[in-house]
Chain A
């Protein structure tokens, strides 16, 4: 069965620190990869996605993610976080033959001023 692992459940950073959130998935074939963000009191929003092509994907608000096929990973990065990045971040995978997204458990990020 497909599965998605997000290794960090809670991350606490100071403003201007760099961020990297891990995401690993279990499926070995063609995958579509996503990061969604949920700000406090708001609904899930798409941060970035990978379908094909350049494995380094840039999203909104300065976020980027790199697809490394050999490591089954799609880690999210941001060079300098802001207090407004405080949110919960979800990695999701859709693999060949399945049209549903499978989500990880999420990483709760708190950024302190």
Chain B
């Protein structure tokens, strides 16, 4: 597609529920990144994929968070047993590759706003 697409744009859930957030990257982009942005903060790195594999998941806050990218395109961020502190905007970005070359410029989606009541 023309840009990075994220669904849903807004999700309200109750504490303890399971949530899935979807990201559809720009066609041809092999690298995909998930970030979390809380109010008044900059984006916080969660995980990135190069192809189908998670190349760096060091930013996932705990084992309730998990992400997959089974076919190297669409990715799903999964949050189990949601807590009020998980409320944030979850951003997805993609880039042509994940090297340190000039091709590695992240394009961001509009984000999925998660509210846990």
**Measuring CB to CB, which residues of chain A are less than 8 angstroms from any residue of chain B?**
4, 6, 30, 32, 34, 36, 42-46, 49, 51, 90, 92, 94, 96, 98-106
CA distance A58 to B100 in the complex (A): 20
**Measuring CB to CB, which residues of chain B are less than 8 angstroms from any residue of chain A?**
31, 33, 35, 40-45, 48, 50, 55-56, 59, 91, 93, 98-102, 104-111
Given contacts A43-B108, A103-B35, A106-B40, 8 further A-B contacts (CB under 8 A): A34-B105, A42-B110, A44-B93, A90-B43, A94-B100, A99-B99, A101-B33, A101-B43
Q: Kindly name the residue among B33, B55, B56, B105 whose own CB sees the greatest number of chain A CB atoms within 10 A.
A: B105
Query: Would A43 and B104 count as touching, CB distance under 8 A?
Result: no
Query: Would A99 and B43 count as touching, CB distance under 8 A?
Result: no
18 CB-based A-B contacts, threshold 8 Å: A34-B105, A42-B110, A43-B109, A43-B110, A43-B111, A45-B108, A94-B104, A99-B55, A99-B56, A99-B100, A100-B33, A100-B45, A101-B33, A101-B43, A103-B35, A103-B42, A105-B41, A105-B42
